[in-house]
Chains A and B, each alone.
Chain A
């Protein structure tokens, strides 16, 4: 049991089949945890995501429809937006300002914002 009270289990490497885990209860627990995290990510109120995304509009345009000189986000692929933001956040992608902004958001918030912009018309 770790400090957060979770049971420490072997986390499968990418591509490793869940069924190959020897301890079935641990596997169930793990899938339960993942399910909870997934549900949490989806549980963002759409109006809350809209408000978070609106904070990006100062530079990226209302609903991500940008004026020239700034990257438009409206209708972009949600995985692409999220990957860029996570790369900024984790220092994998150099920037003038976005690495500083991206660090202000949790991964779930980034995914919710990316999904909002992806759903806007270009």
Chain B
């Protein structure tokens, strides 16, 4: 980020305006009062934790939120940008309210290393952030090593994942617009667990919806490494059969093992190669780089194990991990909604731990995930998760949860209301 921008950001949280660079000292955040919490990653998990720690500590705990992105761009609803139903502006929210309303100090920078012994975060700019407790909400990064061809120069610029909403969302939309009618869009899905289980199937619906209106001779080919649709299967299959017959083809048990970006070819473990005009490869994923680098990804070297009451890492004291980066509990999806719930559970625990209060012994929270099967009709899956003291994990409450009976326009309205509410709960 640029220095001028940084100084403005610092000035915006008036209480902290006199700190940091002005003194010429490389260590930031040594001024102010109260315990210091540093949060890395301002997505659904990190931003929610930042807001709720400030709120629930009556602004008594200093919170510094680090993220290189200038604004929050939502993954949920981003598939609707691919179909042209929504714009990037619709899914973008500034971080202003976290700073102005809640006094969160926003630092637009990248974390290079973490020193758990000294409890210091090092930033790319050369600055340091000391902490009493650190919260990592780094999301996912991709296991590019599983797709050797993607290491070739330019491969990652032409074969997109668009699994982190942002520039790749815009770029994939452009590829779909540029594709001639009669072309094939091939979407590959990695083995579970991955971020947003129903997301790829919703994406297939959105691209098919766009094709049905503008390029009716084109095809959507879903190449799924899993044995079957991993979420809302019957509802998606009904949508494909009834709404997108002749456009969407679903092929399970298609595990991509390499990509030739030059010839736009996918290679599989067991199946014949597939060539398409637009390739959209969602690679296998793991916890974000900084969590792996800090030694927190203890489950299969992919995901971070946490204590479910506090979200404290099982590998490092005073470091908490949230969101898609964690080793999930049984039947718990990697979703923005769930990351927001992690954020609040962790916020309550961190406030309790830093103020000498008792940590809640019975967390209960829910997940609700809406998928658009057209521009207006939506299906959901919902679940309620409760702490099990004996098993020391979160379990779904027997008899709770479920899916839609059928896709409906009413749920379409609820889905958009959900988006506006969770964006406000996370960021406003």
Q: B-contacting residues of A (Cβ < 8 Å)?
A: 45, 47-48, 50-52, 54-62, 66-70, 96-97, 100-105, 109
Q: Say which residue of B360, B362, B366, B408 sits within 8 Å of A101 (CB atoms).
A: B366
**Inter-chain contact B397/A103, CB cutoff 8 Å:** yes
**Inter-chain contact A104/B386, CB cutoff 8 Å:** yes
Q: Residues of A contacting B416 with CB < 8 Å? A: 69
How far, in whole Å, are A52 and B345 apart by their CA atoms in the complex?
9
Say whether, besides A51-B348, A62-B424, A103-B384, A96 and B414 are in contact (CB < 8 Å): yes
**Inter-chain contact B400/A59, CB cutoff 8 Å:** no
In angstroms, how far is the closest chain A Cβ from the Cβ of B337? Answer: 6
Q: Residues of A contacting B386 with CB < 8 Å? A: 104
The list of the 3 closest CB pairs from A to B, nearest first, reads: A104-B384, A69-B417, A104-B400
Q: Residues of B contacting A61 with CB < 8 Å? A: 421, 424-425
Q: Say which residue of B360, B404, B421, B424 sits within 8 Å of A51 (CB atoms).
A: B360
Q: How many A-B residue pairs have CB under 8 A?
A: 111
Beta-carbon nearest neighbor of B413 in chain A: A69
Q: List 15 A-B contacts (CB under 8 A).
A: A47-B348, A57-B421, A58-B421, A61-B424, A69-B413, A69-B416, A69-B420, A97-B382, A97-B414, A100-B400, A101-B400, A101-B401, A102-B400, A103-B401, A104-B364
Q: Residues of A contacting B51 with CB < 8 Å? A: 62
How far, in whole Å, are A55 and B404 apart by their CA atoms in the complex?
21
In angstroms, how far is the closest chain B Cβ from the Cβ of A115? Answer: 16
**Inter-chain contact B399/A58, CB cutoff 8 Å:** no
Q: Residues of A contacting B397 with CB < 8 Å? A: 103-105
In angstroms, how far is the closest chain A Cβ from the Cβ of B151? Answer: 38
Q: Residues of B contacting A70 with CB < 8 Å? A: 414, 417-418, 421
Q: Say which residue of B357, B363, B402, B422 sits within 8 Å of A58 (CB atoms).
A: B422
Give chain B interface residues in 345-397, CB to chain A under 8 Å: 345, 348, 352, 357-358, 360-366, 368, 380, 382-386, 396-397
**Inter-chain contact A48/B400, CB cutoff 8 Å:** no
**Inter-chain contact A48/B360, CB cutoff 8 Å:** yes
Add 15 more A-B contacts to A97-B380, A97-B414 (CB < 8 A). Answer: A47-B352, A48-B361, A51-B345, A51-B363, A58-B337, A59-B368, A61-B421, A62-B51, A69-B420, A69-B421, A96-B404, A100-B384, A101-B382, A103-B400, A104-B384
Beta-carbon nearest neighbor of B56 in chain A: A50
Interface assignment of B83: CB less than 8 Å from any CB of chain A: no
Beta-carbon nearest neighbor of B400 in chain A: A104
How far, in whole Å, are A48 and B401 apart by their CA atoms in the complex?
22
Interface assignment of B344: CB less than 8 Å from any CB of chain A: yes
How far, in whole Å, are A69 and B410 apart by their CA atoms in the complex?
11
Q: Residues of A contacting B361 with CB < 8 Å? A: 48
In angstroms, how far is the closest chain A Cβ from the Cβ of B293? Answer: 31
How far, in whole Å, are A62 and B51 apart by their CA atoms in the complex?
10
Q: Residues of A contacting B420 with CB < 8 Å? A: 67-69
Interface assignment of B236: CB less than 8 Å from any CB of chain A: no
> Number of B residues whose C-beta is below 8 Å from A?
48
Interface assignment of B340: CB less than 8 Å from any CB of chain A: yes
In angstroms, how far is the closest chain B Cβ from the Cβ of A71? Answer: 10
**Inter-chain contact A100/B421, CB cutoff 8 Å:** no
Say whether, besides A47-B357, A54-B344, A69-B413, A59 and B52 are in contact (CB < 8 Å): no
**Inter-chain contact B414/A69, CB cutoff 8 Å:** yes
How far, in whole Å, are A47 and B385 apart by their CA atoms in the complex?
18
Interface assignment of B312: CB less than 8 Å from any CB of chain A: no
**Inter-chain contact A67/B417, CB cutoff 8 Å:** yes
Q: Residues of A contacting B360 with CB < 8 Å? A: 45, 47-48, 51
Q: Residues of B contacting A62 with CB < 8 Å? A: 51, 55, 424-425, 428
Q: Residues of B contacting A67 with CB < 8 Å? A: 417, 420-421, 424
Q: Residues of A contacting B424 with CB < 8 Å? A: 61-62, 67
How far, in whole Å, are A50 and B55 apart by their CA atoms in the complex?
12
**Inter-chain contact A55/B365, CB cutoff 8 Å:** yes
Interface assignment of B341: CB less than 8 Å from any CB of chain A: yes
Q: Say which residue of A47, A60, A96, A104 sits within 8 Å of B408 (CB atoms).
A: A96
**Inter-chain contact A58/B52, CB cutoff 8 Å:** no
In angstroms, how far is the closest chain A Cβ from the Cβ of B338? Answer: 10
**Inter-chain contact A96/B410, CB cutoff 8 Å:** yes
Q: Residues of A contacting B396 with CB < 8 Å? A: 104
In angstroms, how far is the closest chain A Cβ from the Cβ of B58? Answer: 13
Interface assignment of B411: CB less than 8 Å from any CB of chain A: yes
**Inter-chain contact A100/B382, CB cutoff 8 Å:** yes
Beta-carbon nearest neighbor of A58 in chain B: B422
Q: Residues of A contacting B401 with CB < 8 Å? A: 100-101, 103-104
**Inter-chain contact B363/A59, CB cutoff 8 Å:** no
**Inter-chain contact A55/B417, CB cutoff 8 Å:** no
In angstroms, how far is the closest chain A Cβ from the Cβ of B91? Answer: 15
Q: Say which residue of B364, B421, B428 sits within 8 Å of A109 (CB atoms).
A: B364
How far, in whole Å, are A47 and B363 apart by their CA atoms in the complex?
11
Beta-carbon nearest neighbor of A103 in chain B: B400
How far, in whole Å, are A118 and B407 apart by their CA atoms in the complex?
33
How far, in whole Å, are A54 and B399 apart by their CA atoms in the complex?
22
How far, in whole Å, are A101 and B400 apart by their CA atoms in the complex?
6
